Each structure stands twice: as structure tokens, then as C-alpha cells.
């Protein structure tokens, strides 16, 4: 360093490390007011949902999908999801790309008429980065 007065001074033992702070994931493509028939088994209310993250590398997430009210149905053939211990949904652990693939294939089997609101939560293990979306809504109507 040169201040214009004294001799140049250098310090080769100092280094600067720059790291990017992790970013929350993004949940897009949720659809509200989807109409389905009670007891139908082919409903994929999350077919347009995408989970993304701008961070470099395969950041791992814990994703839960819960239904409210929970007695309005269940998830049939939950593919890569596991039953949530709370009994009101399912969960998936993996990176954003795998989470997107898994949620698109998740099938909802409505067992009662009425509205069901789904809450998608994506958490990379840091509660400050947890994101939640409750815009996916299904209206189950009785079969004709």
C-alpha cells in the first residue's frame, strides 16, 4: 500500500474470501380452483409446479406437501414421496430438479366433496430460507 508519504507496505498473509449467501428456493406454477371429481385417481394438481434455486451446486431440500383439510383425500402412488409423520401430507428430500420432477407426478385422490388447499413448503435446512406456497386449490365435486 502506498500513502504517498512513507515507503510501500505489503502484507502477503492477508486474503479475502468471498462467498455468496444461499438464496431461498422458488415455487412457481401453482394453480388455484382446479375442478376434479370425487374418487378420481388421476388428478395431478401440481403438474405445472417447478422448484428452482439460483445457487450453484445441488443444494438439498426437504419439501413437504400438506392438504387442508386432511380428511378430504390422500396422495395415491406418491412416487418418490414418503408419508409425513403428521398424517396430513407427504415429504420429499432431494435437490430442486428432482423435487420438481417428483411433485409434477404427485397424484391427489379426493375422497370427499369440497375445497382442499395444498401447502408446499421447501426448506434447505435453514429456517430463514424456507419458502411456502398455498395457492394450489382443488374443488372436488361428486361424480355425475
The secondary structure of 50-99 as a DSSP string is EEE--SSS--EEEEEEEEESGGGEEEES-TT-EE-TTSSEEEEEEEHHHH
What is the pLDDT at residue 104? Answer: 94
What is the pLDDT at residue 7? Answer: 66
User: Whole domain around residue 91: which residue ranges?
Assistant: 26-141
Cβ atoms < 10 Å from Cβ of 64 = 18
* CA–CA distance, 46 with 95 (Å, rounded to integer): 17
Domain-embedded: residue 1: no
* CA–CA distance, 64 with 75 (Å, rounded to integer): 12
Domain at 62, CATH number: 2.60.40.10
Domain-embedded: residue 123: yes
Domain-embedded: residue 103: yes
Domain-embedded: residue 84: yes
- Number of structural domains (the chain) is 1
Inter-CA distances, 137 with 14, 86, 105, 129, Å: 55, 20, 17, 24
Domain-embedded: residue 21: no
Domain-embedded: residue 127: yes
Percent of the chain topping pLDDT 70 = 82
Lowest model confidence (mean pLDDT) among 7-11, 76-80, 100-104, 136-140: 7-11
Mean pLDDT of the chain: 86
Q: Does the pLDDT value for residue 57 go beyond 80?
A: no
Domain-embedded: residue 7: no
Domain-embedded: residue 11: no
Amino acid at each position: 500500500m502506498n500513502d504517498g508519504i512513507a515507503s510501500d507496505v505489503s502484507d502477503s498473509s492477508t486474503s479475502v474470501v468471498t462467498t455468496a449467501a444461499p438464496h431461498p428456493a422458488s415455487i412457481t406454477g401453482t394453480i388455484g380452483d382446479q375442478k376434479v371429481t370425487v374418487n378420481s385417481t388421476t388428478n395431478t394438481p401440481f403438474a405445472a409446479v417447478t422448484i428452482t434455486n439460483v445457487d450453484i451446486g445441488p443444494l438439498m431440500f426437504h419439501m413437504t406437501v400438506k392438504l387442508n383439510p386432511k380428511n378430504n383425500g390422500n396422495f395415491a402412488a406418491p412416487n418418490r414421496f414418503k408419508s409425513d409423520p403428521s398424517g396430513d401430507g407427504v415429504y420429499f428430500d432431494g435437490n430442486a430438479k428432482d423435487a420438481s420432477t417428483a411433485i409434477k407426478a404427485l397424484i391427489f385422490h379426493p375422497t370427499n366433496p369440497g375445497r382442499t388447499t395444498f401447502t408446499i413448503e421447501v426448506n434447505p435446512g435453514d429456517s430463514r430460507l424456507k419458502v411456502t406456497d398455498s395457492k394450489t386449490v382443488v374443488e372436488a365435486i361428486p361424480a355425475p
